[in-house]
Amino acid sequence: MTTVTPATTREVTAAIVREKGSFELGTVLMEPPRPDEVVVRVVATGLCHTDLVVRDQVYPVPLPIVLGHEGAGIVESVGSAVTKVAPGDHVALSFLPCGQCRPCLEGSPASCANFNDMNFAGERPDGAHALALSDGDATLRDRFFGQSSFATHAVANVANTVKVRDDAPLELLGPLGCGIQTGAGTVWRALRVGAGASFVVTGAGAVGLSAVMAARVAGATTIIAVDVVPARLELARELGATHAIDGKETDAVAEIRRVTGGGVDYALDTTGLPVLIEQCVEALRQRGVGAILGASLPDAEIKLPANAYMQSCKTLMGVVEGNSVSDLVIPQLIDLHMQGRFPFDRLVRFYDFDQINRAAADAASGTAVKPILRIG
């Protein structure tokens, strides 16, 4: 197949964070792709908690910046060295690993030792940018998760571009690249929950509910969701939770012990709140395994009783992006969805691109579990 690469810089529309706290649609200039890059016409992009904490500078990243890291769309052009995808292919975009560090070489690109530099630096590894402001000389930060997909077009790297089947609903697929593969991957690839197991998740947001669906697919027979929003607990039940605990009304640890007959096999905290992480560890059975994956405040610390932790032979692991290999996990999630076994469309609410601030507010308030922006 011949590939046409636009030779010149052109104008595209992007949502720019110029100042902490809000997005503003504007025109930016986009370079042609480098040899290992892919230009994607973005059809839709999910909005993830990580976009909001960066927009709000909880984690200070230089501004102005184009965020967005759950993009899905159609390949428009590819660099000269790209053979994995071709123009016209449907793709979902994911996180960008370095490919050269020890975890990457060992097959765990989500644990990349250079994850922050690759995904949060706001530039390519050599300091160059694919986007620029058309109305000023401030440096526009881009390459967020190797994509910056709050835009009509994204310049991704071949390494974080995942080809997907043409018959899948493309506008739904963006969140598979971050939030949903984080929840599902942690259950399957980090905790390795198996048939007959008991499993608890704290936080029934997009990641937690994805974990519930994944635990059901894995054959777990006791699946407990803990949250404080009754509507989310109800949704958790509909998606496969066998028990739902309102943490405001009930002593969650005591209830988990009662339901599981002494302690749960696997526990996952998606909230990043130290008190809930400590509760997850406490609720584990002897030799139980827990995982954390949520963004905590930069100075957050967790406390564990050293002797009791040792004697109970428990494990607590940190997990990024569900320990996923995106090229494997995203197509698996799509196949399960198409078979009706992973109905993540139940989490989604769609917004037009120019409603991005409304979508962000609804995500922050909990009104929307997983907003998706329709872009093109």
Binding site for Zn ion (CB under 5 A): 48, 50, 97-98, 101, 104, 112, 114, 178
Shortest Cβ distance from residue 74 to Zn ion (Å)? 22
> Least separation, in Å, of the C-beta of 175 and Zn ion?
8
Q: What is the nearest approach in angstroms of Zn ion to the Cβ of residue 145?
A: 7
Q: Which is nearer to Zn ion, 104 or 236 (CB)?
A: 104
Nearer to Zn ion, 125 or 196 (CB): 125
How far apart are CB 207 and Zn ion at their closest, in Å?
Answer: 9
Degrees, nearest 5: CA angle 262-267-271: 130
Please state, in angstroms and rounded to a whole number, the distance separating the CA atoms of residues 59 and 50.
9
User: For Zn ion, which is the closer residue by CB, 57 or 312?
Assistant: 57
Report yes or no: 370 and 360 within 8 Å, Cβ to Cβ: no
- Cα-trace Rg, the chain: 21
Of the two residues 104 and 223, which places its CB atom closer to Zn ion in the complex? 104
Distance of CA 63 to the CA centre of its chain: 22
Q: How far is the CB of 371 from Zn ion (least distance, A)?
A: 12
* Closer of 123 and 246 to Zn ion (Cβ): 123
Cα distances from 260 to residues 73, 122, 197, 221, in angstroms, run 43, 45, 10, 10
Q: Which is nearer to Zn ion, 48 or 75 (CB)?
A: 48
- Give me the least distance between CB of 50 and Zn ion, in Å please: 4
Nearer Cβ to Zn ion (101/361)? 101
Dihedral sign for Cα 286, 291, 295, 301, please: positive
Contact partners, residue 142, CB within 8 Å, separation at least 6: 65, 66, 122, 123, 129, 130, 131, 148, 155
At 103, list the tokens.
């975890």
d(CA 115, CA 320): 9
By beta-carbon proximity to Zn ion, the closer residue of 102 and 192 is 102
Angle among Cα 61, 205, 319 to the nearest 5 degrees reads 60
CB 229 within 8 Å of CB 251? no
CA distance 186 to 203: 14
Smallest separation, CB 97 to Zn ion (Å): 5
What's the closest the beta carbon of residue 45 comes to Zn ion, in angstroms? 11
Taking the complex as a whole, the smallest distance from the CB of residue 363 to Zn ion amounts, in Å, to: 11
Following CA atoms 147, 207, 239, 333 in sequence, which dihedral angle do they give, to the nearest 10 degrees? 40
Tell me whether strands 71-78 and 243-246 are parallel, antiparallel or unpaired. unpaired
Beta-ladder partners of 42: 73
The whole-angstrom separation of Cα 214 and Cα 220 is 9
Nearer to Zn ion, 102 or 248 (CB): 102
